[in-house]
Structure formats: structure tokens, C-alpha cells
């Protein structure tokens, strides 16, 4: 932080605590031990390879179930009952049931003696496998009987149903896909501890099918965004994640270092300055969907690395970007109706009211076009009860609100604070809302309005109370840009100046000449949260950052003169 004295925080000794057993071995519980014993038995006594092999012709659970034919099932059932009554073997040729080959993780196991029911789970759902002692080889029956929760099995057989109506595969063969050694979560309650769900996401994903569904939906949402952008003639580009200067936003960056070049580098906080260089180079319409990294706090809507889309269109402006954003988000919302239906989620949304309505927590967000548009100045007046340009009134309002540091702030910053306090809460969280024409003073990288220099051509879109993204008519005057950068650097404190540097090459690119342009940034994670009804950004990021566990080494056996005992 501010004090970077030459005092090392930790002892440089770095002595590695010699552990008697590895953490994995230490955690070897009775359950794991019995699974290891079983693995050995499956391999040595039953002849199954515990880590499987290539399998061809596997059907997803959802496809396998569509192969079920009631008539084939009834015909076979009748034929086998008659054969049994007549004391003869059933005519195998008369069996018209489809034969399927499936694989999945054991999530239910019911041993009835000579008949074993298993539920195998794959990414598309659960499918029952019924294993009769009389229908499979002896070793396969033993495998089915002693399979553990979490094991991955491969099964083949005709698809029929049970007396209770459960569609199932009547197995004729069973083999081991992979033996699971770890203790599984509780089979009914599953894994509910949020910390364990994030730390052991690989368990969460199979134990809680909703989790996997959200990530499948996320993948399709991102695909749709790309198709939308491609169809509009945008070129997807990839710009540096490792940047010598962290520009394009004001966040604190992560720092790193390139050894061969002996050069400090920053993980990017935004791709903006490189995408603009693409416009200078002659690309008319570009976008990038990629990770940004910001060394800031973590909460329900912030993860240190997050996915953003930035879009730049030459000869566009913030109005162009507004139309694009509105169409994109509307189209995505429409597609979520079918997504939710397919995922078996609540669909009280309907298009009759002029647009799709999707639940987000307690809210029902209506994505009908057009989205709400409100001018910053009008919303301010409505919320604060005074004109934003009447600074005396605004400051009075700020003091009334208890914004005690008001006196230290520039007029427009006070306006901004009062706006966030009084006006933003007025935005209907159930309607996507563009707040337009921000004060120029709080938007340094935006082109000032041609009609009113106090304002600038910028909007922010709010959905569900979250800021999903801003758009600008981009500033492309190199002299003004340079002046703004210089001003920004002047205001930087000690900490900021360690990572904030003037990007002279970017200014130079503007001197070469960047066409007038509209630019847009959208937080993909937040958009996915809204569309998938997820409360936290961690629910839409597969492996969110958590604090590391097991930092017990510092005080392990080090030199301790702390008087122990009294």
C-alpha cells in the first residue's frame, strides 16, 4: 500500500514443514480406504479396469430416453410372461425394444438382492439402470451390487420400464468407467455448503444439476452473443491481456513480470485502448469477449477476473450502441424462454405483454423493447428535487444526505454523488433502463455533447439494480485526450502513480487518426446472472476466486520464543 518500506513482511527462510504424510494421505478416511479396497477387488477379482477405456456409441441420457417405446415394452412384457407361463424361453427376435449404451455417475443405488437399481447421471439428467442377476454376467452383477455413489459406470441393454413406470435400461452388460475414491456428498440433501460448492465445484456440478445447467446456459448465451455480433458484421479480435500500461479504466491492476525482457507487465483492466487502435488501423467494426482483471474487492457482483465484451464501431456513436445493446439483450432474453423451458425451470414469462419477462430473485424483469430511456439530468431533478446545475442547491442536498466530505469535492462530483444516492434508486429494477447524457466532468474519456458542453454522449444501462455496461461516443481528438490523461495523472496519489502511466503510443495512434466511433462495454457475467436467475457472480463463474485454505505453515514449528505455558 502507501508504505512500501524495505521491511519484508515474512521471514525469507521459507522452511518447508516436513509433513509425515501428504494432505491427501492424511485425509484418507475409512470411506476412502474401503473404496480403495473395492477398486482392488474390481480389478483383481472381477476383471474390470477401474479407470476405464474408450467407449463408442454412448448416448446421452436425454437421447436414450427418447428411444423408449411403450408398444415395444408392452409387447416384450407380454411375450416374456407368456413364455414364462409356457415354461419356455422368450423369443429374443420378438424383442423390438431399442438397445442403448449409456454412461454416467452413480447417484442412487438400491440393492434388492438379486435385482439392483442404479441411477446414472450425466450432464443431461438421470437414467435408471436395472440390473437383474439373471441378465448379466456374474462379475457384472457383482460390480452393480457393490458400485459406490460417485462411480462412473457404462451400461448397455434394451430400454424399457419397470412395474412402477420408471423408464430404465435393462442391463445386459455393465462395466466400470472410473472408480471414485472420494466420499460423495449426501445423496438427498446434496452439497449445500456454499463454500464447499465453490471450492469443490467438480462435485457441485454433478451433485447439483442446476449448477451444470447454468454453465450450459452461459455457454449458449455467449455463443448467441457472438452470432449476433458476427451477423452484424463485427470482427472478433483478441488484444493483449498482458499490457505494459494498464489503461482503459481506472481500476487497480494485477502486476506481473516478464523474465526474458525483464519488464513489468499488468494484467489488463480493459481492452479499450487496443480496440481503438484497431479502428485506427482501419477495422470498421470490432468486438472482443475476454477476461479483464481488477485488483479490487469481491462481492456478489465482483470477481477479480471477469468477462466483458467491448464493441467499437467506426462512424457510429452512443446511439448506435444503444440500438445494438437493446436488440442484443432483448434477443437474449427471448432465447431464455426456451432455455428455461428446456431446463425445466419456471417459465411465467410470456411474450403477450410485448416482451419476455424473466425472474431474477424476487424481481420479474421485463425485457420488452424499447427499454426505458431517461436523461441523467431529468432523473437527477426527480430524485434530488433540484436542478443539477444549481450547485448551491446540490451541495445543500448533499449535506442534507449526510455526504460530509461534500466540501472537498468538485461541483460535478457532488452532483454525481447526489445522483447515485437519490436518483439511481428511482430506476425501475424490473425494466432495463438507459441513463443518458452524463455530465462531461465525470466522464473524462467521452466526447462532449455537441449541443451542451456540460454533458457528454454517454449512457449506462441498469438492469435489476445492477450496472451492466456503459457506452460512449468515443473521444478521438488526440489533443483533448492527451490533456485529459495528463489531468488524470495529476490527480493520482502515490499508490495510483505506481501503475498509472501515460499511454503515449495510444495518443500517437489518435494522431494518426481514429474515425469517429461508438464504443460499448458489457459485463458478460452480470448479464448471465440476470438471464439465468443467479444471485451471485460466483454462480456464473465456474471457479471463482476464494481465499486459499491451509495457510498453517507460518506458525508451524518456527522459532517461537513466545513463552508457552504460564
Partner RNA sequence: GAUUGCGUAGCUCAGUCGGUAGAGCAGCGGCCUUUUAAGCCGUAGGUCCUGGGUUCAAGUCCCAGCGCAAUCACCA
- Contacts with RNA, residue ranges (CB under 7 A): 29-31, 34-35, 38, 108-115, 117, 128, 130, 132-134, 146, 148-149, 162-166, 168, 183-196, 198, 248-251, 294, 296-297, 299-300, 302, 442, 444-445, 470, 488, 535-536, 538, 546-547, 549, 551, 564, 566
- Interatomic CA distance for residues 303 and 541, integer angstroms: 9
- Name the residue among 501, 498, 503, 500 with its Cα closest to residue 481: 503
Residue 304 dihedral angles phi and psi, to the nearest 5°: -55, -35
Cβ atoms < 10 Å from Cβ of 354? 12
Please give the helix or strand (H or E) that residue 360 lies within, else none: strand 357-360
The nearest distance, CB 130 to RNA, in angstroms, is: 6
- Interatomic CA distance for residues 152 and 1, integer angstroms: 50
Q: Which lies closer to RNA via its Cβ, residue 339 or residue 525? A: 525
Strands (E), 67-197: 99-111, 115-122, 125-132, 152-161, 167-170, 173-178
Q: Which lies closer to RNA via its Cβ, residue 7 or residue 560? A: 560
The nearest distance, CB 350 to RNA, in angstroms, is: 29
The nearest distance, CB 204 to RNA, in angstroms, is: 10
Which triple of cell numbers denotes residue 526? 452480470
The nearest distance, CB 479 to RNA, in angstroms, is: 17
Strands (E), 141-262: 152-161, 167-170, 173-178, 235-236, 242-243, 255-258
Please give, one letter per residue, the 3-state secondary structure of 15-34. Answer: CCCCCCCCHHHHCCCHHHHH
The nearest distance, CB 230 to RNA, in angstroms, is: 27
Which triple of cell numbers denotes residue 538? 460466483
The nearest distance, CB 473 to RNA, in angstroms, is: 15
The nearest distance, CB 463 to RNA, in angstroms, is: 16
Which triple of cell numbers denotes residue 348? 411465467
- Interatomic CA distance for residues 378 and 372, integer angstroms: 13
Q: Are 403 and 418 in contact (CB under 8 A)?
A: yes
As beta bridge partners, residue 84 has none
Amino acid at each position: 500500500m502507501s508504505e512500501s518500506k524495505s521491511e519484508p513482511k515474512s521471514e525469507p527462510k521459507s522452511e518447508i514443514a516436513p509433513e509425515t504424510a501428504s494432505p491427501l494421505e492424511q485425509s484418507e478416511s475409512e470411506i476412502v480406504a474401503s473404496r480403495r479396497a473395492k477398486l482392488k477387488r474390481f480389478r483383481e477379482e472381477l476383471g474390470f479396469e477401474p479407470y476405464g477405456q474408450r467407449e463408442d456409441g454412448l448416448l446421452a441420457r436425454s437421447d436414450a430416453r427418447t428411444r423408449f417405446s411403450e408398444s415395444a415394452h408392452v409387447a416384450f412384457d407380454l411375450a416374456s410372461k407368456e413364455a414364462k407361463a409356457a415354461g419356455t424361453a422368450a423369443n429374443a427376435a420378438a424383442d423390438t425394444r431399442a438397445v442403448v449404451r449409456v454412461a454416467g455417475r452413480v447417484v442412487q443405488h438400491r440393492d434388492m438382492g438379486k435385482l439392483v437399481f442404479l441411477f446414472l447421471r450425466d450432464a443431461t439428467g438421470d437414467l435408471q439402470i436395472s440390473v437383474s442377476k439373471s441378465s448379466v454376467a456374474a462379475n457384472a452383477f457383482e460390480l452393480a451390487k457393490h458400485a459406490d455413489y460417485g462411480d462412473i459406470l457404462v451400461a448397455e441393454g434394451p430400454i424399457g420400464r419397470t412395474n412402477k413406470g420408471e423408464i430404465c435400461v435393462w442391463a445386459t452388460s455393465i462395466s466400470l468407467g472410473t472408480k471414485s475414491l472420494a466420499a460423495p456428498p449426501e445423496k438427498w440433501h446434496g452439497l449445500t455448503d456454499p463454500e464447499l460448492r465453490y471450492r469443490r465445484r467438480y462435485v457441485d456440478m454433478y451433485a447439483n444439476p442446476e449448477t451444470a445447467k447454468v454453465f450450459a446456459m452461459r455457454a449458449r448465451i455467449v455463443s448467441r452473443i457472438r452470432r449476433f455480433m458476427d451477423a452484424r458484421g463485427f470482427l472478433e479480435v483478441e488484444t493483449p491481456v498482458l499490457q505494459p500500461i494498464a489503461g482503459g479504466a481506472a481500476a487497480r491492476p494485477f502486476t506481473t513480470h516478464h523474465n526474458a525482457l525483464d519488464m513489468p507487465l499488468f494484467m489488463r483492466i480493459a481492452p479499450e485502448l487496443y480496440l481503438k487502435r484497431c479502428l485506427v488501423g482501419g477495422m470498421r467494426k470490432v468486438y472482443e469477449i475476454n477476461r479483464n482483471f481488477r485488483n479490487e474487492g469481491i462481492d456478489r457482483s465482483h470477481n477479480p477476473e471477469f468477462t466483458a465484451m467491448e464493441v467499437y464501431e467506426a462512424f457510429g456513436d452512443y446511439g448506435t450502441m444503444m440500438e445494438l445493446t437493446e436488440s442484443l439483450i432483448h434477443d437474449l432474453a427471448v432465447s431464455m424462454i426456451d432455455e428455461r423451458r428446456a431446463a425445466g425451470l419456471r417459465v411465467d414469462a410470456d411474450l403477450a405483454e410485448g416482451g419476455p419477462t424473466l425472474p431474477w430473485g424476487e424481481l420479474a424483469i421485463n425485457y420488452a423493447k424499447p427499454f426505458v430511456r431517461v436523461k441523467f439530468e431529468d432523473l437527477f431533478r426527480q430524485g434530488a428535487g433540484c436542478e443539477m446545475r444549481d450547485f448551491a442547491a446540490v451541495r445543500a442536498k448533499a449535506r442534507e444526505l449526510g455526504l460530509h466530505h461534500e466540501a472537498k469535492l468538485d461541483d460535478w462530483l457532488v452532483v454525481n454523488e447526489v445522483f447515485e444516492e437519490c436518483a439511481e434508486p428511482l430506476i425501475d429494477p424490473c425494466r432495463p433502463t438507459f441513463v443518458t447524457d452524463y455530465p462531461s466532468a465525470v466522464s473524462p474519456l467521452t466526447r462532449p455533447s455537441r449541443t451542451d458542453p456540460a454533458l457528454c454522449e454517454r449512457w449506462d444501462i441498469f438492469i435489476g439494480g445492477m450496472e451492466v455496461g456503459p457506452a460512449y461516443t468515443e473521444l478521438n481528438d488526440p489533443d483533448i485526450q492527451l490533456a485529459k490523461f495528463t489531468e488524470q495523472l495529476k490527480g493520482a496519489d502515490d499508490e495510483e502513480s505506481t501503475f498509472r502511466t501515460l499511454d503515449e503510443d495510444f495518443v500517437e495512434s489518435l494522431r494518426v487518426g481514429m474515425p469517429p466511433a461508438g464504443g460499448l462495454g458489457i459485463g458478460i457475467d452480470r448479464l448471465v446472472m440476470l438471464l439465468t436467475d443467479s444471485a451471485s457472480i460466483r454462480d456464473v463463474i465456474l471457479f471463482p476466486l476464494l481465499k486459499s485454505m491451509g495457510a498453517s505453515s507460518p506458525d508451524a514449528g518456527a522459532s517461537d520464543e513466545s513463552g508457552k505455558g504460564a
